[in-house]
Each structure stands twice: as structure tokens, then as C-alpha cells.
Structure 1
């Protein structure tokens, strides 16, 4: 295994893994902090929570990347944590943990019995591509929002990326990252006092089962989990990787069950961040892209062991810099997703509805635009299929 890692290692793949890592901890992890503040959770429980989500994503991604040599970026469901920002004002953290525990057990059972794969296949692939494209569009446009905020850092990154893309396309993102760090370095203020490195002492939360929480929080969590797994797998398959639902989701589920008692909403293959490592920008040779998953997985585990104290380190980096770099790395995936979503003429209109609703960022009942985009697209497809089925009958009369 060590010999394979040395042979397959590349700077571009390792950089993709680092960007995916930084993108997570300068964005998604802050959602955990916000949810913890909403629930007025103590610092020790927040540190445990970050340990749980990080360790779950790291172990699952690292194992799957090494075992199958596929760039699986383990992650946690950010929308599931977002739900808690509102839910923790109605339910206790113990009730949320009970929902997480049952969800992890259910997803694991569905994965290994094959039912999850059947549920996922019901979702039209063109609509999934459109949903991904909708999320990616809003993500990629943030490059220019970041340019407006810190032009002295982002403009050199964008110009550098264009130049590097022209002459050394394989290392364009890596060199753009170094360019950004070079221009951002004078503004960084990292020191021993600003960053603490204390190992986490995980605190287990005893789950409390209540019918109100299981319905009001558990059902939306299940729908989100189904969508998260479907999109994560679709990203990998769309890039040509033959991954099994049972293998990937089953491993994520097994890892998530014990960690749910520490606050993990469940590990899953990352979608948007995972696209950074699954695409050609990571490495031209698909068989060597798994290195990015290994690098990111190891980073997740290390950060998880240090819990909340590590957040201050990532807080020193400009969030706009990471956002811009991730957006640049996702352009190729945005193009392929849009192309894939419009290939089938019969589902083209439904795909565009999915794309537009997802890109709008709308939110109802604490459910994000990605899920609503998929639901709107499926609803439109069903309505049109019934209309087409009725037309011949009316004509015959």
C-alpha cells in the first residue's frame, strides 16, 4: 500500500485534498458552531461535536479511498446540521442525537439490504446533475463576490489561474493556491497564543427518544440523507468511477452509528467539495485521484482529534480565498453537470426547473434549495408524464 501511495502521489491531487479540507473548515464547520450557539451548548460539547463530524468523515473517506482507490471525500451533512440551528430551539440536543442514531442505523440497513440503491435509482440522473449544477453555480459565482471584497488577493489568484491553466493546466489550482497564500500572508496573524492544540475529550450524549422530534426532525433528516448520498455517489459516477452504493454508504453508515452518540449527523460521500477531487483538475489520470481522498481524510482525523480548538487556526485564513479557489476548481464539474442534465430532451425542461430552483437558494420548512429543486423537478416530470398519457385518450374520443 505504501508503495502504491508513493507511486500515485502527485502535487495536484494532494492540493485538491487540501483545498477540500480547507473549504470544509472555513465554511461548513462554522455551521456546527452556529448550531451549538443556537442550542446554547457548552464548549466541551461543541468540541465533541466537531470531533464526531470530523472523525466520521475522515475515517470513512480515508478507508474508502485506500480500499477502492476512488477519491471519496467523507463529509457530514451540512443541511442536517443547519436544521439544528432551528430545531435546537424546539428540541433538546439529546433528542437530536436520538434522531441521528436512528438515521444512521436506518441508512446502514438500507445500504446493506440493497434498498437504498433502489431508492436512489428512483431519482432521475438528469435532475441530480441539474441539482448539482445549481449548487455549483452559486458556489462558482462566489469567486467574483470574493473579488469584490478582497480584490488585492483574489485578482492575482484569478489572473494566475488563467496563466497557469494555459501553460501548466495540471497544476493550475495548486499554483493559484500558492499565489493566494503569498498575497494573503502579510495579513495573517497566526501565533502560539491565538491557536490552541488541546486533544479533545469526547463526551457521549444519552439519546432521548420523542415522537415529536422523530417526526419533526427525523423525517427531514432522512430526506436530506437520501439526497446527500445520492448526489455524492452521482458526482463520482459522473466522473467515471464505478462505486457501489452498498460499499460506500454501508461504510459511512457503520462509522456513523457509534459517532452519532457524540453528535455526528452521519458521514456521507461529499458532493460539492468531493467534486473538487473527482474531476480532471485533481489529476488527468482518474486512477490517481484517490490521493486527494487520502490527504483530506488524514486532515479530517487530525483536526477532529483537536476538536474546536483548531477552528482558530482556520479562522486566520481569508474565507474568500478558499471560496475562490474551490470555485475555480469546480468549473469543469459545473460544465459536465450542466451538459449531463440537458442530454435527455424529454427531461430537459424538468432539469432546468431543478437547476433554477436550486440556484435560487430558496428555503422552506428549514429545507434547502437543493432538496426543493429536486422535488420541483420530479413533480414537473410527473405532471408532464401524466399529461402525455392523457393526450392519446382525448384524441381518440
Structure 2
């Protein structure tokens, strides 16, 4: 288990405070990792949001307002948490939530959906303010949480392999550059080199084709909210479960896997406030983001985990710029080959996945069967009541460990160790 790194807001003795440490945190590794997280968050996820907006027959101005809300507020969350707590905590929005909205907006008027966005933010805020999420996070067995993280993030690894298969020149050479850099040039961020090499190959092959997107430089148009029970149960409840059970849980687990002590309740409160403000601006929940936090907290952001918050700071600043100029930025971002984005994201996840597997299934892991169940459920496409697999992975893993007596045995062992 790596040494725990508390948030700087709770431990004034940490050396990474002040102007000089902030400068140290903005180095080539954190900057390149922040750019990778931004590219990941501004490509495929942006398409999902635009598809949802199209299914709801939103105007271009409403779509720009949606993108403005989630990227500017998500980026603001990253900047605030990075500077306040000196931890690599990134904000964005729930990507699965945007996906389920593509179906919901076909039958629910957008003004009622906006009301549901606000209601979801209120529920998340209430859960964070109650302290319940923090107590639950400390109660959950670490191996089961780590197994859920490994299962939820494993799609990045398989996505990287699929990208190499589908685009061997772009993705394959980028992956080769990553591993060669790690072997030969230890002072240079491998992710940065892989991205630049892949981009160069894509330019050489003529694979940077601007995507035809109907958005232009238009002013956002905000929608007055309306409230209905149909929208509440179809949108607000699933979004709340996704923010808590998928995004926040994944981010908290990743941070724990990297040795940090995340401010769980404050992360949940921020996700609730972000959800309310995003709803008022016409977008769904802006919250702590699992995938972007995983990228920014990984070893690709540098060997010193105390400086990795610089990656989230860069990620947040770029997200805010993207949101401010969404109407102009989308076509250029979408011109990047999807295979290149996927392989870079997968390579950035290697350290996180290795750490999660080691903590979940190490020799002294007390809940290996429960962790295995959590892993398999998180890797599946299982969904129930509009909630995706990471949440159910935690539930099923804990249930199996309780049934087999793994949790009680682990607690008895810890009590004996403390007694001696």
C-alpha cells in the first residue's frame, strides 16, 4: 500500500504548498498528462453530448450552452480542487449520463430535463452534506474498491489494443514510441512522445479530417427549468446514481489506489453544486470525473505524486477554454483520429491498473473472492435501474464478501494486529 498523501488543506506541514511548489507542479509530465486528459474528454464524450442534444431537437444555441455549462464548470472544479487541496482531482461530467439522455430527451421536453438536472444536483449535494458518502467510502473494503476500479478502467486497456489493431500505423507506432521512451528517455514523458509521434504519423497519412459539425460561433441560449415527476424518475434519479456510484466512486478509488486521502464529502458536495449550476445553465451534472482523475493521478504525471495535481490544473484550464469556445473548438478536436486518442488514454492507464490489481488481488488481500466478483461485474455491461456497472460492482462484491465471511475475517485480523 503506498504512503497516504493527505489533502494539503488538512495538513499544513506538506511541502507542496506555496508559489514555488506550484511552479514545480507545472512540468512537462503534468502538462502532457493534462493535455491527454483534455483530449480524451473533448472528443468522444463531446460527441455523446451532441448526439443527445440532437435527439432532443435542441437548437445550436442550446447545444453550445450545454457544452459551455459542463466544460466550464467541470474545469472550474478541477482548478479549485487542484489549488485548494493539491490533489489531482479532475472535474467534467458523467459520460454515461449523457448517453442515457439521448433516449430520455426523445420523450421528455428539454425544459423538464433541465429541471431534472437541477434536482439531481440537489440530491447529490444533500448526500455530500450529510457525510454519508464519506463514511461509506471509509467502510468499503479497499480490495473491492480497487477491483471495481480495475474493472471500470480495463476498457481503456482493451480500447488501446483495439486501436492498434484498427489503426496499426497511427496507434501502433504511438504505442511503440511510448514504450521506447520509457526505456530510453526516462526524463521525457512517454505519453507526450507517443501523442506527438501519433499526431505526426496521422498528419503524414492524411488522417486528420475535420468533422462536419453543425455548430458555429453562436451565443449560448439558456432554458428555463420546469419540473415533472416523469423527468425526475427518468433523468434525475439515474443521474444522481451515476454521479455518486460511478464518477465519484471511481475517482475516489483511483486516488486511494495512488496513495492519496481524498476529501470524499467535499468532492460529493462539489459534484452537487456543479450539478445545480450546470442545470441552471442548461447542462447535465458537472461533477468529479472518474476517467480524467485516473489519467491525471497516474504515474504518467510524474514520479512525485505530490506534484501530479498540476495535471488536473492544466486539464481544468483547457476544459474551461473548450467550454468558452465550444462552437469553434469541436470540429478541430473531432478531427483527431479516434484510434490515437484511445491508445494514448489506454497507455496512460497502465500504472493505475497495475496498482489496482495489486491491491485487489495481492497475497495479503482479505477479500479476494468479493474483489473478483466486483472486477467481473465492473468489466461487464450490466445496468439496472439506469445505473451502470461500477455501482453494482461495489454492491455485489461487498455482498459476496459478507456472505463468505471475508470482511469479518479481515476485521478480526486487523484487530489482532492492533492488539499485538
Query: Could you tell me how far 1:385 is from its partner in structure 2?
Result: 4.5
Report the Cα distance in structure 2 between the residues aligned to 1:299 and 1:68, rounded to whole angstroms: 19
Match of 2:225 among 201, 207, 218: 207
Count matched residues. 388
Report the Cα distance in structure 1 between the residues aligned to 2:209 and 2:232, rounded to whole angstroms: 43
Name the SS of the counterpart of 2:36 in structure 1. helix
Aligned pairs for 1:246-285 (under 5 A) are 246-285=265-304
2:3 alignment counterpart: none
2:159 alignment counterpart: 142
Higher-helix-fraction structure: 1
The 8 Å contact of residues 195 and 309 in structure 1, kept in 2 or not, is answered as no
The 8 Å contact of residues 299 and 305 in structure 2, kept in 1 or not, is answered as yes
1:35 alignment counterpart: 52
Q: Which runs of 5+ in 1 are unaligned?
A: 390-397
1:62 alignment counterpart: 79
TM-score normalised over the length of structure 2 = 0.85
Change in CA separation of 1:82 and 1:197 when aligned onto 2, cut-off 3 Å: closer
2:202 alignment counterpart: 184
Report the Cα distance in structure 1 between the residues aligned to 2:213 and 2:239, rounded to whole angstroms: 34
1:292 alignment counterpart: 311
What does the per-residue CA deviation read over 1:184-216, in whole Å, with 9 as the maximum and x for residues that have no partner?
Answer: 11325578x979996553322222212222223
1:156 matched to 2:173? The reply is yes
Deviates more, 1:40-49 or 1:318-327: 40-49
Change in CA separation of 1:174 and 1:355 when aligned onto 2, cut-off 3 Å: same
The 8 Å contact of residues 209 and 336 in structure 2, kept in 1 or not, is answered as no
The 8 Å contact of residues 48 and 95 in structure 2, kept in 1 or not, is answered as yes
Deviates more, 1:86-95 or 1:312-321: 86-95
Query: Could you tell me how far 1:123 is from its partner in structure 2?
Result: 4.0
Report the Cα distance in structure 1 between the residues aligned to 2:256 and 2:49, rounded to whole angstroms: 29
Report the Cα distance in structure 2 between the residues aligned to 1:188 and 1:345, rounded to whole angstroms: 46
Query: Could you tell me how far 1:250 is from its partner in structure 2?
Result: 2.5
1:376 alignment counterpart: 396
Deviates more, 1:95-104 or 1:358-367: 358-367
Report the Cα distance in structure 1 between the residues aligned to 2:233 and 2:139, rounded to whole angstroms: 23
1:312 alignment counterpart: 331
Query: Could you tell me how far 1:3 is from its partner in structure 2?
Result: 4.7
Query: Could you tell me how far 1:317 is from its partner in structure 2?
Result: 0.6
Query: Could you tell me how far 1:13 is from its partner in structure 2?
Result: 0.8
Name the SS of the counterpart of 1:355 in structure 2. helix
1:392 alignment counterpart: none
When the two chains are superposed, the root-mean-square deviation of aligned CA atoms in Å is 2.6
Q: Which runs of 5+ in 2 are unaligned?
A: 1-17, 410-420
Report the Cα distance in structure 2 between the residues aligned to 1:309 and 1:251, rounded to whole angstroms: 28
